[in-house]
Amino acid sequence: MSAHADFDYDLLVIGAGSGGVRAARMAAAQGARVAIAEDRYLGGTCVNVGCVPKKLYAYASHFRDSFDDAVGYGWHLPETPTFDWPTLRDNKSGEIKRLNGIYQRLLENAGVTLYNARARVVDAHTVSLTSAKGDTQLSAQKILLATGGWPWVPDFPGSDLAVTSNEVFDLDVFPKRFLVLGGGYIAVEFASIFNGLGSETHLIYRKELFLRGFDDEVRAFTRDEMGKKGVQLHFEANIERIDKSEDGLAVTLTTGETLTVDTVLVATGRQANVEGLGLDNVGLTLNDQGKIDVNERFETSVPSILALGDLIDSPELTPAAIAEAMQIVEHHFGDTTPEPLDYERVPTAVFCHPSIGTVGMTEEAARERLEKIRVYRTDFKPMKHTLSGSDERMLMKLVVDDATDVVVGAHIVGEEAGELIQNVGIAVRAGLTKADFDRTLGVHPTGSEELVTMRQPTRN
């Protein structure tokens, strides 16, 4: 692509999260002159206040169960293990600093100019940057909006006393009593994390069952398993108000119940992070989903302005933003037109306890969209727990299109479900049939062999 001398840059990216950084690096590798503006931290939500610290905390929260499980295998700990929150918190912060540095080096090595500044769109080809050094304006042939999402907090008396997922990783004091409001994966994961670390944990959700959009059987199974692990679930309830009390925070629920806790996490969803971005200067608005509309080239209604990731109506997942970044670079700076992304069969994991791995259609979606389906499901006590004394169970489920025998959905609840679903995701993405699964020999003895040994349909 020829450089346009009448612009400062060929591409100016606003937001140095996973999608923005990948787009900047790959465009620069194609010979484009690229700049990126970021006013917070390199790596975005995922690295700083999302998937990375969340997974580290999820690892930490599993040890308590591991200590309990070890007894049945002959291990005796000389004293009761204790948990030190500052160690985990500060070690996590050290790891994130390391990752921030890696992102900076990746950009530098790619020849991308990094501006530590707040960016605002002025017109179709101009961005103003505000930093401690003052204000400046840059022009670009293409502007990519990659500012991601931001936690949304509903308005109720005392809502300012709650924290969001942005602050929860860095609490000064470990909450002995923890309450999370919300029913999405973030709420469910943090309920499991703090319960596992030793908090008395409550989850409040306004509907009858959490994890809307996931397979119903998976949702119910996860509810039961989390309940067994001690998370106190309050469905069809909401927070009416939060008051400071002598003993912490008094949370009054719409059910009339009052719970006293140390920390309230509000995880009620995320919104497109566009405040002060200057969208109105170029006539861009959010659609009914609160997202920016784009075409297959990721162009907004202003063709020189592109958008990706949590700003557009696609799965709010780091790998999705990275895949979109690669597409953008191919469309605008490459030689070929890429195949559109397949958002239908995206493997995802929820790192609650037990964890969830899922790819493809839920049973409910398959019933709606296909004429006839077969469902294969099994739940069992994993071999590890034959001696551990734990009553934890594992669920595995395949949804099959009866007409073609193609496996259109796979769902797992249990230990390491996230690791398992990546591999099953390849099979589902490739369109393999139930016969292909059946012809694959199991690895014995593992839990995952159940995926290839379910012969009889549970229901049609």
DSSP designation for 442? P
Can you give the pLDDT at residue 4?
65
- For the chain, the average pLDDT equals 97
The strand pair at 407-413 and 356-360 is best described as: antiparallel
Closest of 455, 401, 451 to residue 422, by C-alpha: 451
Q: Tokens at residue 253, please?
A: 């629920």
Amino acid at 419: E
Q: Which residues pair with 204 in a beta bridge?
A: 181, 234
For 122, phi then psi, to 5°, come to -100, -50
Closest of 281, 334, 337, 277 to residue 307, by C-alpha: 277
Side-chain-side CA neighbours of 225 within 13 Å: the count stands at 25
Integer Cα distance of 409 and 358 in angstroms: 8
pLDDT in tens, 123-132: 999 999 999 9
CB 13 within 8 Å of CB 25: no
Q: Tokens at residue 28, please?
A: 């620069």
Inter-residue long-range contacts of 152-157, CB under 8 Å, 24+ positions, other chains counted = 152/268, 152/269, 152/270, 152/271, 153/266, 153/268, 154/266, 154/268, 156/239, 156/240, 156/241, 156/242, 157/240, 157/241, 157/242, 157/243
Can you give the pLDDT at residue 5?
75
pLDDT in tens, 134-167: 999 999 999 999 999 999 999 999 999 999 999 9
Three-state DSSP class for residue 357: strand
Can you give the pLDDT at residue 1?
43
Q: Which residues pair with 250 in a beta bridge?
A: 243, 260
For the chain, list the domains and their CATH numbers: 9-49+88-150+271-333 (3.50.50.60), 177-265 (3.50.50.60), 348-452 (3.30.390.30)
Amino acid at 295: N
Q: What is the mean pLDDT of residues 90-109?
A: 98
Amino acid at 233: L
Query: What does 292-342 look like in DSSP terms, one character per residue?
Result: ----TT-B-SSTTEEE-GGGSSS---HHHHHHHHHHHHHHHHSSSPPPPP-
What is the 3-state secondary structure of 231-288? CEEEECCCEEEEEEECCEEEEEECCCCEEEECEEEECCCEEECCCCCCHHHHCCCCCC
Can you give the pLDDT at residue 2?
46
Integer Cα distance of 82 and 402 in angstroms: 52
Find all residues with CB under 8 Å of 223, minimum gap 6, and list them: 209, 210, 233
What Cα–Cα distance (Å) separates residue 8 from each residue in 37, 298, 357, 453? 14, 22, 45, 60
pLDDT in tens, 357-394: 999 999 999 999 999 999 999 999 999 999 999 999 99
For the cut 70, the answer to whether the pLDDT of residue 50 exceeds it is yes
For the cut 50, the answer to whether the pLDDT of residue 183 exceeds it is yes
- Catalytic site residue from 62, 331, 385, 444: 444
CB 284 within 8 Å of CB 300: yes
For 369, phi then psi, to 5°, come to -100, -20
For the cut 90, the answer to whether the pLDDT of residue 303 exceeds it is yes
- Percent of the chain whose predicted confidence (pLDDT) is above 70: 99
For the cut 70, the answer to whether the pLDDT of residue 447 exceeds it is yes
Q: Tokens at residue 134, please?
A: 């003052």
Q: Tokens at residue 266, please?
A: 């509000």
| pTM, two decimal places | 0.96
What Cα–Cα distance (Å) separates residue 424 from each residue in 177, 373, 427, 432? 38, 19, 5, 10
Q: Tokens at residue 237, please?
A: 């309830």
Q: Which residues pair with 144 in a beta bridge?
A: 13, 306
Closest of 125, 144, 121 to residue 333, by C-alpha: 144
Integer Cα distance of 223 and 413 in angstroms: 11
CB 73 within 8 Å of CB 149: no
Can you give the pLDDT at residue 92?
98
- Residue 202 annotated to the active site: no
pLDDT in tens, 6-28: 999 999 999 999 999 999 999 99
